[in-house]
Amino acid sequence: MKLYKQGDKSKAVCETCKDVISTTFDYRTVPFSDGSGEVKNILVAVCDACDAVIATPPQSTPAIKNARETATKSIEVKLPAPYLEILDLAAYRIDAMASTSFRKSLLTYYIHLHYGLIKTDNMPKRSIVKSYPKKVPTKRLSLKVAPRLYDEFEYIMDATDLKTTGMIKEIVQEIEKDIVRPKKPKHLVELQRLAMVTTA
Amino acid sequence: MVRTMGFKQAKADVLDALLNGRYQHETRKGAIDKNLLQTGAMSPVELSAVIGRCRGQHHSMSTHHQIPAITVHVLKRDEWYIKFYFIDPDTYFISVHQTEPEP
């Protein structure tokens, strides 16, 4: 197995310099793109021209994995497909350029919204949970969130006495009521800004 | 040097790179994104197995969005999306992630 060492030279594409540039391996702290944390002092390839971190070698992966696991928590549910379609339609209504990746932003926005309401003793009104025929396919929804947001999610589950799937269903139905059904969607300006930032 | 090649050579070379640890992961905007091989959510052995199942119909090529001289290889197989290129002597992974299943 190749072992890269500090001071080793290599070549890689630097998106800042827009060229294939010579690189030098060195130790740097690298953030995660979703803002959930960073990996401290891992070996990376640094652009010799602009000093940007432009690549990581395989030997840095265990440290990245470790930091990733402590930086994110996972919310995993299986839902009848219409729930995801509601989310996608809401995302499409907010911003026609939004993709399925906006699902996470939309859900986290509403988790935070619920948390704020419950914290100020404004318990959101419970929806009647829809049931779908068994032949309707189910789909997996996986959200990787920062520990802070996961804590809020656990708080609202506890306050509403719902489990993970029930809570997500409740939130999706809230999104349907706020965004999909009304002639004028709620929180539209704010959500459009969010869509612009997350799809940029 | 930057190399161009077809599917068979690209497959052989990327498998060889995974076996010998002769690869790097491209980082965009100086941050670690969703490349599952880079973040350790997928092992080189698991990725090699997916690539091993790829045939010509799962492969496509394009030019790198910034460096047209670089050929970027894309493999789509079993809901996996794998994107890489070669700058000798290393292989560079841009993306390794799962896509939404077809309805």
Encoded tokens for A126 = 């419970």
Token pair belonging to A196: 């612009």
Domain boundaries, chain B: 7-98
Instruction: Return the beta strands (E) in chain A as ranges.
Output: 9-14, 19-31, 38-47, 53-56, 73-80, 138-145
**How many interchain CB pairs under 8 A, A with B?**
94
On whether the pTM is more than 0.90, the answer is no
Give the tens place of pLDDT for each residue, A74-115: 899 999 999 999 999 999 999 988 777 788 899 999 999 999
Separation of alpha carbons A25 and A51, rounded Å: 11
Q: What pLDDT shows up at residue A120? A: 85
- Select from A10, A13, A18 the Cβ nearest to the Cβ of B26: A13
pLDDT single digits (tens) A19-42: 999 999 999 999 988 777 889 999
Cα–Cα distance, A143 to A147 (Å, whole number):
12
The residues that bridge with A183 in the sheet, in sequence order, are none
Residue A16, min C-alpha distance to chain B (Å): 8
Average pLDDT, chain A: 90
- Taking the C-alpha atoms of residue A103 and residue A113, their distance in angstroms, rounded to an integer, is 15
Higher pLDDT, A105 or B5: A105
Residue spans per domain, chain A? 9-71, 73-198
Question: Which of A1, A20, A39 lies at the smallest CB-CB distance from B2?
Answer: A20
Read off the pLDDT of residues A3-22 as tens digits, 9 standing for 90 and up: 999 999 999 999 999 999 99
Residues of A with CB under 8 A from a CB of B: 1-3, 10-13, 15, 18-20, 30-33, 39, 44-45, 52-59, 61-62, 64-65, 68, 100, 137
Nearest to A24 by CA among A46, A2, A42: A46
C-alpha distances in Å from residue A49, one per residue of A13, A18, B89 = 11, 11, 20
What residue ranges in B1-103 does DSSP mark as E strands? 23-26, 59-63, 71-77, 80-87, 90-98
How big is chain A, counted in residues?
200
Residue B102 — very low, low, confident or very high, per pLDDT cuts 50/70/90? Answer: very low
Among the CATH numbers 3.30.420.40, 3.30.2310.40, 1.20.1090.10, 3.40.640.10, which is that of B7-98? 3.30.2310.40
ipTM of the complex model:
0.90
Amino acid at A171: I
Better-scored residue on pLDDT, A120 or A174: A174
